[in-house]
Structure 1
Amino acid sequence: MTWSEIALIALGALAVGLLLAWRGASRLDRLHRKVAASRIALDAQLVRRASTAVELAASGALDPASAILVADAAYTASDAGPVTSPAAALKMDGLGPERERAESGLTATLREAMGSPESIQLLQAGPSGEVVAALAAAWYRATLARRFHNEAVAQTRRVRKLWYVRLFHLAGRAPMPRTVELDDALPHALEPNGG
């Protein structure tokens, strides 16, 4: 084998390696964008859930003490730091522990204020039934948005653990994405197929 044949084989191997690296980096870039977009969507759904919780508190359907607790928890969740720009979403750090605690607190407060499945059915049948239905829909969409976000994070983490991604540093300087862990379980009576 002459040196020109060896050089040709090496050049072909280099071209294939560069093509694979380019495809891997493009895939990672798409996954990082998917994580950022899903985080923005999750934030929007959580803000919608908090605003419908405030509407429920103001509707008069809850007793006064529960209405104050729900409104306070909703305002705390809203003030805990929504994502205001795409640059903030690119940090890949989930929602942050303070926001996750506030959203979990809103969930617990809503479940406690709405009470048993029978009292939820009474709320749905009463004059504030539309507000309860809007809250249930916003809550369900927020739950789905968190699941989609966490799945996007899991996909990105799986790809970033591949040997060639680590070896060639294909992720660049993008931080490792973090899942969003919070309590967002709906009461059974508010689930689309449960109540």
Structure 2
Amino acid sequence: MNLETLSLVLAIVLIGWYLSFSASRLDRLHHRVETSWATLDSLLQQRAALAHQIVLVSNLDPATAYLISSSAAAARDANIVERSAAESVLSQALKLVQNAALDNSLQLPSELLVELSDISSKVKLAINIHLESVNATRNVRSKPLIRLFRLAGKAPIPVRYAFEDEVV
């Protein structure tokens, strides 16, 4: 075996290793996006349930109670296209409730206020993690070798949702 053949084989092995490594990394990043979305979705569902609970135990006027209850129901039941708008409306409604409870213009049990504050901070953290995962995956997918060799396969491109920018 001469030096040219050996260097060609070595180059092919290194390129193969790099492509394999990149494909594994991309797969892990897609998995991270899926798990971060599942966590975020779970927290958003908990937040909607908490909104229903707040409506039941607070002294909200009927119009505000209806607004919060309907926005929570819309957020829980919306498909992926409508979900962003529904979550934005629920976020705004819960901010109003939180501000009213802090101003003492709304009687809300302190446990619910603490739980609302806690779930809001968890949602913000989950959104940050999800956005970081989406951005990392999109950055790797945009590399020329990844696109050239189609290492992403048929995995959909991760997307950002409008409500994520509004909540953060």
Per the normalisation by structure 2, the TM-score is 0.89
- Are the equivalent residues in 1 in contact too, given 2:68–2:90 (CA < 8 A)? yes
**1:184 alignment partner in structure 2:** 167
Question: Within 1, Cα distance between the matches of 2:108 and 2:147?
Answer: 58
Q: Which runs of 4+ in 1 moved over 4 A?
A: none
Partner amino acid, structure 1, of 2:86:
A
Select which of 59, 70, 73 maps to 1:72: 70
Q: CA deviation at 1:118?
A: 6.1
Q: CA deviation at 1:141?
A: 1.0
Q: CA deviation at 1:97?
A: 2.9
**2:61 alignment partner in structure 1:** 63
Partner amino acid, structure 1, of 2:35:
A
Select which of 92, 95, 108 maps to 1:111: 95
Q: CA deviation at 1:60?
A: 2.4
Question: Within 1, Cα distance between the matches of 2:147 and 2:36?
Answer: 24
- Are the equivalent residues in 2 in contact too, given 1:73–1:105 (CA < 8 A)? yes
1:52 and 1:74, CA in 2 relative to 1: closer, same or farther beyond 3 A? same
1:171 aligns with 2:165: no
1:139 and 1:130, CA in 2 relative to 1: closer, same or farther beyond 3 A? same
Spell out, residue by residue over 1:129-182, the C-alpha distance to the aligned partner (whole angstroms, 9 max, x if none).
211221121122112111110110000011111122122221112111101220
- Are the equivalent residues in 2 in contact too, given 1:146–1:180 (CA < 8 A)? no
1:120 aligns with 2:102: yes
- Are the equivalent residues in 2 in contact too, given 1:61–1:128 (CA < 8 A)? no
Q: CA deviation at 1:107?
A: 1.4
1:137 and 1:123, CA in 2 relative to 1: closer, same or farther beyond 3 A? farther
Name structure 1 gaps, 5 residues minimum: 82-95, 186-195
1:30 and 1:123, CA in 2 relative to 1: closer, same or farther beyond 3 A? farther
Structure holding more helix per residue: 2
1:16 and 1:156, CA in 2 relative to 1: closer, same or farther beyond 3 A? same
Question: Within 2, Cα distance between the matches of 1:127 and 1:168?
Answer: 57
Spell out, residue by residue over 1:84-114, the C-alpha distance to the aligned partner (whole angstroms, 9 max, x if none).
xxxxxxxxxxxx33001111111122234x2
Per the normalisation by structure 1, the TM-score is 0.77
Secondary structure of residue in 2 paired with 1:178:
coil
Count of residue correspondences:
166
**Aligned alpha-carbon RMSD (Å):** 2.0
1:1-195 paired onto structure 2 within 5 Å:
4-81=2-79, 96-112=80-96, 114=97, 117=99, 119-122=101-104, 126=107, 128-182=109-163, 183-184=166-167
Q: CA deviation at 1:7?
A: 2.1
